[in-house]
């Protein structure tokens, strides 16, 4: 007997049939003698439909009213899921974010959970009820509804697991676990039985959209054991925890990230403080930068290249032209690139990972235009048309 | 400067254009210097769509979860209406039933308002905000959401008017006021400038679906002045209050009710207690009966006829056959009838109202099969095919 948190995303409850399917998964776990608390997102396209309704009326409505609007989405899905469980004949109660005690700060649209007051939750669990909690939402000190922002339901589930000291937090998705590469693109991608928080964080950041980063950070902080598994296929998923057991595995996965733009500032004056000026001006606009490369150019100038999300590229280019264009430098932006990375805590203690990766790319005839490394990752920038080929080649080199 | 409550039904906010239209009505009232609190229902078919979703999953889901589901409907409409008002540029805040302090009993699906704790409402009004309140919903002492049942938003509006001591409660509908007959059927129907609570109650009961009875009863109890008016056409509506000013008007309206079945028990033994047995057995099943006629039959037997809603007819017939069929009586049910009524407090002090009505029906060649009178109404049962003709004839006799 354990306390298990289960989280289901919007596509898992998109229609009546899927809601019943999820209800069976939940009641199976309950009937095995476990206490079960479920976090669920809004059905399928509900959130997008609500946003569209709002845009039609006022594209610049307040975030406070947008939160009022969007939180209705999960309210609908928790009620329907509870009714499905009632049909199967298990005791159940649905709770909104505020009823489940999710107290957040006042940042509408991207609120942070400050505390989970679990009295009501614990009372319902004591009555041996399955509890269905609306993900993505909470309440602030002014008694107004808030939403947690992107990936909010994952965060709700992990926060709940931490607050209730749950034995396991199961995140149900449309894949059966975390793979060494995207299984839709790389046929012999292998499912990992476990992975560390840090590895999972790198994989998420690098474009493997399985778990939201914020939820993994939270899980790491409170040492919540997560299982990523499929809501459709019944089989064990991938466990995310502090220490992974597959010690012998050098790397855990190969990922690609297509949302990358490279911005180059060529021919900057080689005076102290230019790099600082560049990156602090970007930071002031909230533009996150990723891979950075600095090189000495001709005639005592220097060049700096860096990558950022495509959505920030135009703004960053314009900003830097205004600063460095006047000083004679040329700013250019390239969106025809992709980032391919290998991730794995094992590579820290193994030499040769980088050369193995570069060798595989060379043999596949793929040109590397930038390289970046961290303790547990090696990333390269390449032409975006070559991304899938690169992932396959690198994956083959490491996993055969 | 006054405090005005405005209530808009689901069809008034069915799409973006109508939401903007309602927003303009509200902000016009606000810009005239009034405090405005608005009660709004769920958009158009939202409630029906949600019920359909529930039925697909579990036609016998609990009322508690049904309330959780349905209250999302008004949550969507208050947020959208608030955004529309933000667009016009007036300060506004939307509040859910519980945020607006609607405390109810625990009767999910048909909850009664026990108290309105108006602290938050008053605080928002003090800040000169337009307040948009979700109609039809509240919260019970266990912190679960409840709905008020049919016509709930009208009730929410009147209760709010009473709690806030509002100067006026405007109920916006798809008609421009209360008419002497259905204006779609009787071309020369006249709009009433005012009407008493009692007259309005009779009109509502008798099938003029303008205002929900419960809300009129509440308005009478707390002496809330109601104006029934159109959300589309800008013109003064009909005022509902304790004493109507149009004293000279004998009757206020002619109505028809098509949801009527007549059940006859013919040839009952003429022994004491049979009428009691009949009506108490119906009451025990929650079947409301309306017009009653008792007559002495042949051979020392007696006959009782009464009317009820069509939805109860089958159950009532079966029940009475089980009781009186064994004793030799015949139970029959007739659903081919309609009830036509005249309503008006003025008729109390005027002789001849009944004869004028019956004369008009006679001249139109319409046969009356039952008659029922109260202090302010006279109702007749006739063949349902003749209902519109009867309303027209009677209306002509009183209003020319």
Domain closes at, from B334, B355, B388:
B334
Window from A33-37, A107-111, A171-175 with minimum mean pLDDT:
A171-175
- Rounded distance between C-alpha atoms, residue A264 and residue A307, angstroms: 9
Residue A21 with chain B: CB contacts under 8 Å: none
| CATH number reported for the structural domain that contains residue B61 in this entry | 3.40.1160.10
Of the partner residues B56, B84, B144, the one whose CB lies closest to the CB of residue A58: B84
- Check whether residue B49 and residue B162 sit in a common domain: yes
Distance from B358 to chain A by nearest Cα, in Å? 54
Helix, strand or coil, per DSSP, at residue B22: helix
On average, the pLDDT of chain A sits at: 91
Angle between helices B213-222 and B152-163 in degrees, nearest 10: 10
- CB < 8 Å from B in window 26-85 of A: 50, 53-54, 56-58, 60-62, 64-66, 68-69, 71-73, 75-76, 78-80, 82-84
Residue A75 with chain B: CB contacts under 8 Å: 68-69, 71-72, 75
- Rounded distance between C-alpha atoms, residue A387 and residue A207, angstroms: 12
Q: Which chain B residue is nearest to residue A16, measuring alpha carbons?
A: B57
Amino acid A244: pLDDT = 65
Of the partner residues A20, A65, A96, the one whose CB lies closest to the CB of residue B57: A20
Window from A38-52, A268-282, B352-366 with minimum mean pLDDT:
A268-282
- Rounded distance between C-alpha atoms, residue A282 and residue B35, angstroms: 46
Decide if B270 is inside a domain.
yes
- Check whether residue B33 and residue B165 sit in a common domain: yes
- Check whether residue A25 and residue A158 sit in a common domain: yes
A102 lies in which domain range? 3-173
- Check whether residue B46 and residue B159 sit in a common domain: yes
Most confident of A37-46, A276-285, B173-182: A37-46
Span A202-239, pLDDT tens digits: 887 776 678 888 899 999 999 999 999 998 888 999 99
Q: Which chain A residue is nearest to residue B86, measuring alpha carbons?
A: A61
Nearest residue to A143 via CA among B99, B104, B84, B19: B99
Q: Is the pLDDT of residue A183 over 60?
A: yes
Decide if A234 is inside a domain.
no
Amino acid B286: pLDDT = 84
In chain A, the number of structural domains is 2
Q: How confident is the model at residue B89 (pLDDT cuts 50, 70, 90)?
A: very high
Decide if A110 is inside a domain.
yes
Decide if B325 is inside a domain.
yes
Amino acid A246: pLDDT = 56
Span A356-380, pLDDT tens digits: 899 999 999 999 888 888 878 889 9
B113-116 and B35-40: which strand pairing?
Answer: unpaired
Alpha carbon of residue B390 to chain centroid: 23
Most confident of A271-285, A297-311, B91-105: B91-105
In this prediction, residues B79-89 reach a mean pLDDT of 98
Q: Which bin fits B383, alpha (ψ -120 to 50), beta or left (φ > 0)? A: beta
Hey, are the CB atoms on B75 and A76 less than 8 Å from each other? no
In this prediction, residues B352-371 reach a mean pLDDT of 89
Residue A19 with chain B: CB contacts under 8 Å: 57
Of the partner residues A65, A84, A94, the one whose CB lies closest to the CB of residue B86: A65
Token representation of residue B79: 């947020």
Amino acid A32: pLDDT = 96
Domain closes at, from B317, B334, B351:
B334
Of the partner residues A58, A71, A79, the one whose CB lies closest to the CB of residue B87: A58
Span B195-252, pLDDT tens digits: 999 889 888 777 667 888 889 999 999 999 999 999 888 899 999 998 766 556 678 8
| CATH number reported for the structural domain that contains residue B309 in this entry | 3.30.70.260
Hey, are the CB atoms on B99 and A143 less than 8 Å from each other? yes
Q: What angle do CA B26, A60, B126 make, to 5 degrees?
A: 45
Span A253-269, pLDDT tens digits: 999 999 999 999 988 88
Q: Is the pLDDT of residue A250 over 80?
A: no
Amino acid A301: pLDDT = 83
Helices and strands of chain B, counted as H and E runs: 11, 20
Amino acid A245: pLDDT = 65
With a pLDDT cut of 90, the percent of chain A lying above it is 64
Most confident of A285-289, B247-251, B294-298: A285-289
Residue B217 Cα distances to B111, B205, B242, angstroms: 16, 12, 11
CA R_g for chain A: 23
Window from A62-76, A216-230, A336-350 with minimum mean pLDDT:
A336-350
Q: What strands, in cross-sheet order, belong to the sheet with A289-296?
A: A289-296, A301-308, A261-269, A330-334
Distance from B166 to chain A by nearest Cα, in Å? 25
Amino acid B245: pLDDT = 65
Which tops the pLDDT comparison, B375 or A266?
A: A266
Of the partner residues A54, A76, A145, the one whose CB lies closest to the CB of residue B50: A76
Q: Is the pLDDT of residue B151 over 70?
A: yes
Query: E strands of B135-287, at which residues?
Result: 137-139, 145-147, 168-173, 194-196, 226-230, 238-241, 253-257, 261-269
Token representation of residue B249: 């008007």
Domain closes at, from A150, A173, A196:
A173
Distance from B86 to chain A by nearest Cα, in Å? 7
CA atoms within 13 A on the CB side of A260: 27
On average, the pLDDT of chain B sits at: 91
- Rounded distance between C-alpha atoms, residue B46 and residue B40, angstroms: 13
Residue A50 with chain B: CB contacts under 8 Å: 76
Distance from B132 to chain A by nearest Cα, in Å? 11
Amino acid B246: pLDDT = 56
Amino acid B225: pLDDT = 96
Hey, are the CB atoms on A57 and B19 less than 8 Å from each other? yes
| Residues paired with A238 in a beta bridge | A228
Q: How confident is the model at residue B184 (pLDDT cuts 50, 70, 90)?
A: confident
In this prediction, residues B112-124 reach a mean pLDDT of 96
Nearest residue to B10 via CA among B51, B39, B42: B42
Taking a C-beta distance cutoff of 8 angstroms, is the pair A173, A9 a contact?
A: yes
Decide if B275 is inside a domain.
yes
Of the partner residues A54, A75, A96, the one whose CB lies closest to the CB of residue B83: A54
Decide if A73 is inside a domain.
yes
Amino acid A42: pLDDT = 96
Hey, are the CB atoms on B16 and A143 less than 8 Å from each other? no
Q: Which chain B residue is nearest to residue A15, measuring alpha carbons?
A: B53
Span B316-332, pLDDT tens digits: 999 999 988 888 889 99
A396 touches chain B (CB under 8 A): no
Q: Is the pLDDT of residue B155 over 90?
A: yes
Q: Is the pLDDT of residue B30 over 60?
A: yes
Amino acid A88: pLDDT = 98
Q: How confident is the model at residue B24 (pLDDT cuts 50, 70, 90)?
A: very high
- Check whether residue A169 and residue A292 sit in a common domain: no
Phi, psi values for residue B187, rounded to 5°: -60, -35
Token representation of residue B108: 């999910």
- Which residues fall within 8 angstroms of residue B277, CB to CB, at 6 or more apart? B323
B125 touches chain A (CB under 8 A): no
| Residues paired with A337 in a beta bridge | A383
Residue B75 with chain A: CB contacts under 8 Å: 68-69, 71-72, 75
Q: How confident is the model at residue A283 (pLDDT cuts 50, 70, 90)?
A: confident
Distance from A338 to chain B by nearest Cα, in Å? 40
Taking a C-beta distance cutoff of 8 angstroms, is the pair A225, A240 a contact?
A: yes
- ipTM attached to this prediction: 0.82
In this prediction, residues B152-181 reach a mean pLDDT of 94
Span A81-126, pLDDT tens digits: 999 999 999 999 999 999 999 999 999 999 999 999 999 999 999 9
Decide if A216 is inside a domain.
no
Amino acid B182: pLDDT = 86
Amino acid A207: pLDDT = 67
In this prediction, residues B23-44 reach a mean pLDDT of 97
- Rounded distance between C-alpha atoms, residue B295 and residue B324, angstroms: 16
Q: Is the pLDDT of residue B54 over 70?
A: yes
Amino acid B64: pLDDT = 98
CA atoms within 13 A on the CB side of B58: 21
Decide if B68 is inside a domain.
yes
């Amino acid at each position: 007997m354990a306390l298990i948190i289960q989280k289901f995303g919007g596509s898992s409850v998109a229609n009546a049939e899927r809601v019943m399917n999820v209800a069976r998964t939940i009641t199976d776990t309950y009937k095995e003698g476990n206490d079960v608390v479920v976090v669920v997102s809004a059905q399928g396209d509900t959130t997008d439909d609500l946003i569209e309704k709002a845009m039609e009326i006022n594209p610049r409505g307040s975030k406070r009213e947008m939160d009022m609007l969007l939180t209705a989405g999960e309210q609908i899905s928790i009620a329907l899921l509870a009714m499905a469980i009632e049909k199967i004949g298990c005791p159940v109660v649905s709770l909104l974010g505020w009823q489940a005690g999710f107290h957040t700060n006042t940042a509408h649209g991207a609120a942070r959970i400050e505390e989970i007051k679990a009295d009501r939750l614990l009372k319902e669990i004591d009555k041996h009820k399955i509890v269905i909690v609306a993900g993505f939402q909470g309440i602030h000190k002014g008694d107004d509804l808030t939403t947690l922002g992107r990936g909010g339901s994952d965060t709700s589930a992990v926060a709940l697991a931490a607050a209730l000291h749950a034995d396991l937090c199961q995140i149900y998705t449309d894949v059966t676990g975390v793979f060494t590469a995207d299984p839709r693109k790389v046929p012999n991608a292998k499912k990992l039985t476990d992975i560390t928080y840090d590895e999972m964080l790198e994989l998420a950041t690098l474009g493997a959209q399985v778990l939201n980063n914020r939820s993994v950070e939270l899980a790491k902080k409170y040492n919540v054991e997560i299982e990523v598994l499929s809501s459709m296929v019944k089989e064990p998923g991938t466990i995310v925890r502090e220490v992974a057991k597959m010690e012998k595995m050098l790397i855990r996965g190969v990922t690609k990230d297509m949302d990358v733009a490279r911005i180059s500032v060529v021919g900057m004056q080689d005076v102290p403080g230019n790099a600082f000026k560049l990156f602090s001006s970007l930071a002031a606009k909230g533009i996150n930068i990723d891979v950075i490369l600095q090189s000495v150019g001709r005639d005592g100038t220097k060049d700096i290249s860096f990558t950022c999300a495509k959505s920030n590229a135009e703004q960053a280019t314009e900003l830097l032209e205004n600063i460095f264009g006047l000083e004679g430098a040329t700013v250019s932006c390239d969106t025809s690139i992709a980032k391919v990375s290998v991730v794995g805590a094992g590579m820290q203690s193994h030499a040769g990972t980088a050369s193995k990766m570069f060798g595989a790319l060379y043999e596949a005839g793929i040109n590397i235009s930038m390289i970046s490394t961290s303790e547990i990752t090696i990333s390269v920038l390449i032409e975006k048309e070559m991304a899938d080929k690169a992932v396959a080649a690198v994956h083959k080199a490491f996993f055969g």
